[in-house]
Amino acid sequence: MIKNKLYLHCGAHKTATTSLQIFFLENIKFLENHNIKYISIEDINNQNLFSFLHGKNNIQLSEVENHQTFFKNIIRESNTSSFLISHESILSFAGDPTKGRIYPTFEKGLERLHLINIFDEISFFFCFREPSEFLHSIYLQNLCTTYSGPFDLYLQKVDFMNLSWLFIPDAFENLWKDSNVTWQLFEIINSRGSEYFLKSFFDWLEIPFSDEFKLPVSNESLSIVAANMLSASGLTRKNMCSDTRKSLRRFLKSHFPASKYGKANYLNENICGDIQNALEKDNRKLFKRLFAPDDIKLWGYS
């Protein structure tokens, strides 16, 4: 009887997760030729798997069966026996480091994944960096809804002594010790470069690597757009009301959907122009500070 294996990749902020997902999408046929079916982020999100893993405390048997059926259908319709999921947040979003929490619902997600598991084997690959190296990214990506105030003040509240990944090995030991599960913790070291990083994934998936494979540059960032707009409009000030910040978030979601603009880490000239055009058409009064001379540099114009 053929055994089914799931490869599950998770990554903290700033560990090239978006670039890897682009790579996997661009090389679906290559992966299938090596007996690996890539389950896209879109499929996972449409299934609302994240909500099940990290949502309400009480779950129904029907919910468990629904997710089991989802994976059973993928297995049945596929011509492979190995399956790959690459999703940075599948086992929890990054939490609030000012409260000493990173990946606060990790254990819950792991327990529920264990509950719905129908695979004969799961291999986990985690990409981590030192917390101090991606705090700025957490700050940016949560700025619209969670944090207020400048980054330097936020940074002063972080207790670096209590930020650690040590709870993750313990969680595996406690929950998966009787299962046929392998897992690896991988810390990205910049000096090794993207080729070494990509090769490590080929080794993990047990497929041949050649120099022709390159890790793509990820696409433009909605989060950096939001952060720059907030800063320029003065909405990061603590005395700004939450309704105003929510208005900005609604504006961003309406005009700059993630499906078009993606989520990575830079703001190019085309997006700068798109933002200015949209602002001139809509919400000009709310964001009038964006057109002040001192703020123009934020949009890449001299």
The 10s digit of each residue's pLDDT in 224-245 is 555 555 555 554 555 556 666 6
Highest mean pLDDT pick, 85-89, 231-235, 287-291: 85-89
How high is the pLDDT of residue 54? 93
33 against 294, higher pLDDT: 33
The sheet with strand 36-39 has its strands ordered as 36-39, 82-86, 5-11, 121-128, 181-187
CATH architecture of 5-133+162-205: 3-Layer(aba) Sandwich (3.40)
pLDDT mean over 241-265:
60
Res. 260: pLDDT tops 90:
no
CA distances, 100 to each of 135, 158, 214 (Å):
12, 7, 36
165 against 265, higher pLDDT: 165
Four-CA torsion 70, 73, 77, 81, nearest 10 degrees:
80
Q: What is the 8-class DSSP label of residue 4?
A: P
Pairing between β-strand 121-128 and β-strand 181-187 as defined by DSSP bridges: parallel
Residue 85: strand, helix, or coil: strand
CA distances, 36 to each of 18, 46, 49, 129, 172 (Å):
19, 21, 21, 27, 24
Distance, in Å, from the CA atom of 193 to the CA atom of 173, rounded to the nearest integer, reads: 31
Tens-digit pLDDT profile for residues 90-148: 988 888 888 878 888 999 999 999 999 999 999 998 888 777 777 777 776 665 556 55
Average pLDDT, the chain: 76
Res. 1: pLDDT tops 70:
yes
Within 10 angstroms of residue 130's Cβ, the number of other Cβ atoms is 13
How high is the pLDDT of residue 204? 93
Percentage above 90 pLDDT, the chain: 28
Distance, in Å, from the CA atom of 190 to the CA atom of 265, rounded to the nearest integer, reads: 16
Lowest mean pLDDT of 1-5, 87-91, 242-246, name the range: 242-246
Res. 78: pLDDT tops 90:
yes
Domain locations along the chain: 5-133+162-205, 222-299
How high is the pLDDT of residue 247? 65
30 against 278, higher pLDDT: 30
Four-CA torsion 233, 236, 238, 244, nearest 10 degrees:
60
Lowest mean pLDDT of 38-42, 150-154, 203-207, 208-212, name the range: 150-154
Token pair belonging to 38 = 């890539």
Distance, in Å, from the CA atom of 235 to the CA atom of 222, rounded to the nearest integer, reads: 17
Tens-digit pLDDT profile for residues 27-74: 999 999 999 999 998 899 999 999 999 988 899 999 999 999 999 999
